[in-house]
């Protein structure tokens, strides 16, 4: 079997490095900052669990690389026609002396991969997916969920989605490690991907959004390499139904096609290439709905199964390292609807999460608590928060959970969000199991992002982190968004404050073990940045082998114009060393 990704190894052997320094920090205090172009939304998706070029760090371990998706990436002259999307690969070792430049040069190499088709929004999801081509380096997957573009169709963007795979041994991609110059920016195009997996639907239905979530999920088919779970939360039987679906793509089939110089594979088309292995080695559907005698849905269902996916490693009693979780945040929990009951279809959506094993069985179902929670909006694993049995817990975000005060409804808070940490072996109701952490601000949306960490503080219990999409720190703003300074004041007047809509800067909270103690908290630097959503862990990335947190802020800065210069929503990637 091919080697696991650097992240998988790091979770098992990462050295303890306690959190030190001030508990709360501003993201502009980062040790390294990367920045996108106007309207890029750089860091809309992030991954730092792989090593593209097999670089060794200061302490002899691998230096992981950073993937950052920029799904918007527009041309300001023709914005609608040119929302092509892109993603950037920052290749270590990094230049830690260039923080003040906001776009490091010198020892840091950036590969920018642009999309081949208009409007596709490449970079919506990016992920390192293990060493599929078995060359010793980790490979890359990136999705374009809006395409393909069809000028004769209505709408012109089918939203079927497609996923591009880039193998590090493939010089045809234009950025193979063997051809990369040091300290330069390299521009490549997705049309030169090693493998392109397309989804032309099952005949006539559009809108699957194949590629909404991507995760390497172990060797499901025992073909000798990692397989990749890909979510299609828009998969449906009719215009009323979006039950969602997850496809597990065989790593063996991808390698087989690459070895035989076949670039394009399709999920459904008859005759799609597969020599020694099926392209799809697993397919899982949302709960869906009951159909009438004509095959039409009895009522609208929008589970959106496949909206989020997380590899758990080993989370259940069967030791096979093939467990993964899938979220369906818009599940309609209406058991009495067919018995004449009435439910407000657009609001009564609690969400659920299923843990799946290699046997193809949906096990250990977890249901949300209340209507509109969006339970399962984000899921995470590969972390033993309890520190008991070395099995991964399941972390679930419900960013629209409401804190209702039944005694005095005026004290209720809405959309504060909630994060659940539960044992994946138990299943059932979340109300009596595990750890629950509630947001503290009205409209905070805690749980918009969740992510598992190794044991960073050395207490034999793993940590985890959670993002708050709209956490408020409105009393302070960055003085100037151009330099990477951290001088705080409020240079804008009251009228502009109103225009910006307040101080929803966003935040990322790191929690220690099974308690709700915040070890670190990172705040966005300007209004509506939504910092911390997403954020990932990068082992051994620092100049002296330090681990790091990679904090995204895709909407930085929300200001449309400063001193006559367009700066809106470039997006930033902040790197914080854990010293």
Bridge-based pairing state of the strands 280-285 and 245-249: antiparallel
Looking at the structure of the chain, the number of domains it has is 1
* Token pair in block for residue 463: 């940590």
What is the number of residues in the chain?
579
Encode burial over 319-328: b for 16+ CB neighbours within 10 A, e otherwise: eebbbbbbbb
Which residue range(s) make up the domain with 125? 6-291+300-578
Neighbours of 232 (CB within 10 A): 30
Enumerate the H helices of 420-570 as residue ranges.
Answer: 494-500
What span, in angstroms and rounded, lies between the C-alpha atoms of 471 and 575? 20
Phi-psi region at 222: left, alpha or beta (left = phi > 0; alpha = psi -120 to 50): left
pTM of the model: 0.87
**Which pLDDT belongs to residue 108?**
76
Within a domain: residue 1?
Answer: no
> What CATH number is attached to the domain comprising 137?
2.130.10.130
**Which pLDDT belongs to residue 290?**
53
pLDDT, tens digit only, all 579 positions of the chain = 444 443 333 333 333 445 665 588 888 788 888 888 878 899 999 999 899 988 765 555 678 899 999 987 555 444 444 567 899 999 988 877 655 444 443 347 899 999 877 778 899 999 999 999 999 999 999 999 887 666 666 555 677 889 999 999 999 999 999 888 887 889 999 999 999 998 875 544 577 889 999 999 999 888 888 999 999 998 876 666 778 889 999 999 999 999 999 999 888 764 455 444 578 888 888 876 555 566 555 555 678 899 999 998 877 666 677 889 999 998 765 443 333 223 333 334 578 888 887 556 656 788 888 888 899 999 998 888 877 777 888 999 999 998 887 788 778 888 999 999 988 776 544 444 568 899 988 899 999 999 999 988 888 888 999 999 999 875 444 444 444 455 443 333 333 343 334 468 899 999 987 667 888 999 888 778 889 999 999 988 888 888 999 999 998 877 655 555 556 788 889 999 987
Kindly tell me the sign of the dihedral angle through the C-alpha atoms of 435, 440, 446, 450. negative
Whole-angstrom distance between the N-terminal and C-terminal Cα of the chain?
34
Within a domain: residue 98?
Answer: yes
Within a domain: residue 199?
Answer: yes
Q: How far is residue 402 CA from its own chain's centroid?
A: 24
* Token pair in block for residue 433: 């199991």
Phi-psi region at 571: left, alpha or beta (left = phi > 0; alpha = psi -120 to 50): left
**Nearest residue to 241 (alpha-carbon basis) of 199, 304, 294:** 304
Q: Are 214 and 227 in contact (CB under 8 A)?
A: no
Within a domain: residue 254?
Answer: yes
Within a domain: residue 418?
Answer: yes
Whole-angstrom CA distances from 322 to 240, 314, 355, 424, 546 are 33, 7, 10, 13, 29
Helix (H) / strand (E) element for 245: namely: strand 245-249
Within a domain: residue 312?
Answer: yes
What span, in angstroms and rounded, lies between the C-alpha atoms of 95 and 107? 5
What span, in angstroms and rounded, lies between the C-alpha atoms of 392 and 385? 8
- DSSP letter at 378 equals E
Within a domain: residue 531?
Answer: yes
Using CB atoms within 10 Å of the CB of residue 271, give its burial: 0 to 12 exposed, 13 to 18 middle, 19+ buried.
exposed
């Amino acid at each position: 079997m091919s080697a696991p990704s650097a992240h998988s190894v790091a979770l098992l052997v990462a050295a303890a490095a306690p959190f030190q320094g001030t508990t709360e920090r501003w993201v502009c205090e980062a040790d390294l900052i990367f920045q996108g172009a106007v309207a890029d939304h750089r860091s809309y998706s992030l991954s730092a669990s792989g090593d593209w070029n097999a670089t060794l760090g200061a302490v002899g371990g691998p230096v992981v690389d950073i993937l950052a998706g920029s799904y918007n990436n527009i041309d300001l002259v023709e914005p609608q026609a040119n929302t092509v999307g892109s993603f950037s690969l920052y290749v270590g070792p990094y230049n830690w002396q260039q923080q003040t430049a906001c776009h490091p040069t010198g020892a840091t190499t950036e590969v920018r991969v642009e999309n081949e088709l208009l409007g596709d929004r490449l970079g919506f999801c990016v992920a390192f997916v293990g060493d599929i081509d078995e060359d010793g380096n980790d490979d890359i997957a990136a999705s374009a969920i809006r395409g393909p573009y069809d000028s004769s169709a209505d709408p012109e963007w089918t939203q079927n989605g497609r996923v591009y795979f880039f193998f590090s041994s493939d010089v045809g991609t234009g950025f193979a490690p063997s051809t990369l110059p040091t300290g330069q920016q390299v521009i490549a195009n997705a049309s030169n991907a090693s493998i392109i997996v397309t989804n032309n639907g099952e005949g006539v239905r559009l809108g699957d959004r194949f590629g909404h979530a991507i995760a390497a999920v172990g060797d499901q088919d025992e073909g000798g390499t990692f397989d990749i779970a890909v979510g299609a939360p828009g998969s449906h039987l009719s215009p009323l139904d979006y039950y969602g679906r997850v496809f597990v793509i065989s790593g063996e089939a991808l390698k087989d096609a690459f070895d035989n110089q076949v670039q394009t594979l399709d999920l459904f088309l008859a005759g799609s290439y597969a020599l020694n292995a099926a392209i799809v080695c697993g397919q899982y559907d949302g709960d869906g709905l009951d159909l009438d005698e004509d095959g039409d849905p009895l009522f609208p269902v929008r589970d959106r199964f496949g909206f989020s996916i997380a590899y758990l490693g080993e989370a259940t009693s069967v030791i096979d390292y093939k467990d993964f979780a899938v979220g369906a945040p818009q599940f309609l929990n209406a058991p009495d609807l067919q018995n004449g009951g009435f439910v407000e279809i657009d609001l009564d959506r609690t969400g659920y999460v299923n843990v799946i094993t290699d046997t193809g069985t949906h096990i250990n179902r977890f249901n949300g608590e209340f209507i509109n929670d969006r339970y399962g909006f984000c899921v995470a694993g590969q972390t033993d928060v309890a520190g008991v049995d070395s099995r991964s817990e399941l972390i679930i975000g419900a960013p629209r959970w409401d804190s209702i005060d039944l005694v005095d409804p005026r004290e209720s808070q809405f959309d504060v969000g909630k994060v659940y940490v539960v044992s994946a072996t138990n299943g059932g109701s979340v109300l009596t199991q595990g750890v629950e952490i509630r947001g503290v601000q009205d409209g905070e949306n805690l749980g918009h992002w969740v992510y598992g960490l190794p044991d960073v503080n050395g207490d034999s219990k793993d940590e985890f982190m959670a993002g708050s999409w709209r956490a408020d720190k409105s009393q302070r703003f960055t003085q100037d968004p151009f330099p990477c300074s951290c001088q705080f004041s409020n240079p804008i007047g009251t009228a502009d404050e109103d225009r910006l809509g307040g101080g929803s800067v966003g935040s990322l909270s790191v929690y220690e073990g099974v308690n709700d103690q915040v070890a670190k908290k990172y705040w966005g630097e300007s209004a509506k940045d939504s910092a911390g959503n997403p954020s990932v862990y990068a082992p051994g990335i620092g100049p002296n082998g330090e681990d790091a947190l990679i904090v995204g802020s895709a909407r930085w800065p929300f200001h449309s114009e400063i001193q006559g210069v367009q700066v809106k929503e470039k997006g930033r990637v902040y790197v914080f060393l854990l010293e």
